[in-house]
Amino acid sequence: MKKLLTALLIAAAITTASVPAVLADDLPDAFWNLNDAYNAALQSGDNNGVIYYGLQIADLIAPMPVTEQTSEIMGSRLDQAGLAYERLGQYANAAQVYQRYIPYAEAAGWPDGVKIAKAKVLQYTPSIDIYTETNEPQWIYGAKNEPAQGVLYGKTVENTIENSLDGDSIVLVYLNFGDSDLRWVENTLKEARRVGATVEIAWNFANEAADVTSVYNHSDAVSQMAELLNKYSDVKVLLRIGAEMNIWGNMASPEDFKNAFQYISSGVKGAASNVAAVWSVGHASAWDVNMEDYYPGDEYVDWVGISAYMMPYFQGRNDWSDFDKFNEVVFSAGNSAEPVKLVDEVVSKFGGRKPIMLAECGASHYVRPLGEDTSYFADVMMRRMYSYLPMVYPQIKAIVYFDVEVTSEINDYALFTSSGMTNTYNNCTKSSRALVHSPNTYPETMFSLQGDTIYAEKSILPIYTYVHTFGAWEPKVDYYLDDAWIGSSSSVPYHLNLDCSKYSDGAHTLTVSAEANGQPLYRRAYTLIINSPISININGVHASADVNPTVQDNRTLVPIRVISEELKANVSWDGASQQVIIKKDGKTVVLTIGSKTATVDGNAITLDVPAKILGNRTFVPIRAVADMLGAKVDWDGNTRTVLINQ
């Protein structure tokens, strides 16, 4: 069963809260008057004074050599200025100050202060990012049981398995390591086989470190599980082994845990080819724990999981002192529970090599110790989770909700205990277009992050915006083109259909502005370049295509049908190797989806842009293919026409 985050340790007092004694040696004369004014502001609780004089001191000392004395002066003043900005609600300014504080705290030997400051920089720094629609997968690992495109979604098995799989593409079932009764697991596998769903099996170490060290005494449990899963070899299984080891109350040593994981992973996967092993952590580690120390190695891990729980209060308390509130930031509670930031550490550390899944997750709609209904918090966090995670982090391939009521726990995450949360879940999962809405299907669309310059044709450009502003969970977003207001949205993912046909070709300025309660929070400007559609002319005749050509990395890609019908080439497709084979006039060209290496009659050629699958259609770089087939290719920039002559 899910571990409580109360296993997290609260940090000891942070050394930077105090003002270090200073020595007269080598300090500028101006320091002393500033320091007196700073101390007076600190003692009287004058936040603006602390900021003004603290930063004046920092600017004065910054050019000096980094010594123990200057590091303590810089660190303490910047820390207090950051805290003062927090008390004033100026979080973006606080983030800048803490970023400046970090190297001095490192030099002073304040690891706790560094940890807290990095968490605050992550949370307090505002951001705006625009995404547009694409049918091209943004991140592919080729891992076992990874969906070809999109994000699996589902929840835990409760009551009857049939109800648990209504439209879901993945289901979660729990089992404690050492339990010999596998009937509930087998019932889940049977139903998943019927509908084609993926099964996540959470094989938990209920006794934590004690189970880790006794794994080798339970070889029968490993073989029994392997035998059962092999019996359902046509069912995709994600086997999560000993989750949340980074927040256990009875911590195992990293070496013991890794050895136990490797033993189980090898034993089960060696006998059941349908199984992918999942190494899964709590979203934030206990204070002095590094989650990566427990990583068993790429050979034994197929997926990386996260237990991601959004809590309105750290440890169910709303009475933390100003000094202790840093716990909410470090452990992602309250205003710091925003799901994109909550999973940032795990995705940053492991998303480069393994698919990521929210192995279990939830948003608290009721806090039992306080008797407080927090449905608004849960509603916003769930909408941000299902809208933004597939958009911002395409490394995430599954989201599994913890639909279980545990009355002994601080927070209630269960959907079935609240009709409002059930409706929110249903609305989120139905409207999130990147989710795999039924097993073995493709999602409606994926999303592509745009840089400072956005290219668009004279058609509808769908825009989705990720906005992060600390303390404002759902600000209002306004869109402006060349300073003229063109639309707004008040709910994630801030969708706008921009009709580019109304505007002239060339460069425009697209500005996105976020505000809350009538106060501006953050804005970002983009360059939007609008171009007329691309056409293709072959031997003086316009080439028709049911799908318009597209531009990728300044290269024109066309649907393969143009090659086969207009260039009169023979085209075939090898699904196993993901290759397009083009034959014409005795030449054979082979292109591999996603690869910049092609071959002409067996000789390797490097492409500027690879062949791609967009919207379930294969697109190829027209200039490269035409060149390889012996045709001449030109570009008419005035009419945006690709000219091909054979």
User: pLDDT for 479-521, tens place per residue?
Assistant: 999 999 999 999 999 999 999 999 998 999 999 999 998 899 9
CB within 8 A of 370, min separation 6: which ones? Answer: 313, 316, 318
Instruction: Please report which confidence band the pLDDT of residue 366 belongs to, taking 50, 70 and 90 as the band edges.
Output: very high
187-205 average pLDDT score: 94
**pLDDT at residue 313 is higher than 60:** yes
DSSP codes of every residue in 354-394: S-EEEEEEEE-SEETTTTEE-HHHHHHHHHHHHHHHHHH-T
CATH number among 3.30.470.20, 2.60.40.10, 3.20.20.80, 1.10.3720.10, domain 136-431: 3.20.20.80
Catalogue the E-assigned strands of 89-213.
Answer: 127-134, 152-156, 170-176, 198-204
Q: Which of 218-222, 404-408, 509-513, 628-632 has the lowest mean pLDDT?
A: 628-632
The pLDDT value recorded for residue 161 is: 55
- What average pLDDT score do residues 564-576 get? 79
Distance (Å, rounded) from C-alpha 483 to C-alpha 512? 10
Residue-level pLDDT at 510: 98
Judged against a pLDDT cut of 80, whether residue 615 lies above it is answered with no
pLDDT per position as a tens digit, 447-466: 999 999 998 888 899 999 99
Compute the CA torsion angle 287, 289, 290, 293 (nearest 10 deg): 180
The pLDDT tens digits of the residues spanning 223-254 come to 999 999 999 999 999 999 999 999 999 999 99
Of the candidates 172, 191, 197, 177, the one whose C-alpha atom is nearest the C-alpha of residue 358 is 172
DSSP 8-state secondary structure symbol assigned to residue 179: -
Residue 197 CB contacts under 8 Å (≥ 6 apart), including other chains: 154, 165, 168, 169, 170, 171, 191, 439
Query: To which H or E segment does residue 94 belong?
Result: helix 91-108
Give me 75's structure tokens: 């660190």
pLDDT for 6:
39
Helix (H, G, I), strand (E, B) or coil at 226: helix
Pairwise CA distance, residues 151 & 618, whole Å = 22
Class of residue 412 by CB neighbours under 10 A (exposed 0-12, middle 13-18, buried 19+): buried
Percent of the chain with pLDDT over 70: 93
Over 50: is that where the pLDDT of 623 sits?
yes
5-125: CATH topology is: 1.25.40
Mean pLDDT for 621-631 is 83
Of 22-31, 409-418, 529-538, the range with the lowest mean pLDDT is 22-31
- Write the DSSP symbol of residue 634: E
**Cβ contact 450:165 at 8 Å:** no
Here the tokens at position 36 are: 């007196």
- The SS3 call for residue 225 is helix
| CATH placement of domain 450-531 | 2.60.40.10
Query: Which residues have a Cβ under 8 Å from the Cβ of 16 and sit 6 or more positions away?
Result: 75, 76, 79, 80, 101, 105, 108, 110, 113
Task: Please state which of the ranges 11-15, 166-170, 368-372, 446-450 shows the lowest mean pLDDT.
Answer: 11-15
Higher-pLDDT residue of 5, 337: 337
Q: Where in the chain is the domain with CATH 3.20.20.80?
A: 136-431
Domain 535-645 indexed as CATH 3.10.310.30: no
Average pLDDT of the residues in 349-358? 97
| Stronger pLDDT, 403 or 542, i.e. the higher one | 403
Secondary-structure breakdown of the chain: helix, strand, coil percentages, each rounded to the nearest 5? 35, 30, 35
* Residue tagged 């049911």 (tokens): 546
Average pLDDT over residues 327-337: 95
Look up residue 102 and give its DSSP letter.
Answer: H
What is the average pLDDT across 37-44? Answer: 97
Q: What is residue 310's three-state secondary structure?
A: strand
4 has pLDDT over 60: no
Does residue 626 register a pLDDT over 50? yes
For residue 394, pLDDT beyond 90: yes
Q: What is the DSSP letter of 563?
A: I
Which residues belong to CATH 1.25.40 in the chain?
Answer: 5-125
Q: Is the pLDDT of residue 160 over 60?
A: no
What pLDDT is stored for residue 627 in this prediction? 84
What's the rounded Cα separation, in Å, for the pair 220 and 197?
28
CB distance 189 to 219 below 8 Å: no
**CATH 2.60.40.10 intervals, the chain:** 450-531
* pLDDT exceeds 60 at position 435: yes
- Of 179, 191, 209, 202, nearest to 360 by C-alpha is 202
pLDDT average, residue stretch 95-122: 97
Alpha-carbon distance 219 to 241, whole Å?
15
Neighbours of 266 (CB within 10 A): 14
Question: What mean pLDDT value characterizes the chain?
Answer: 90
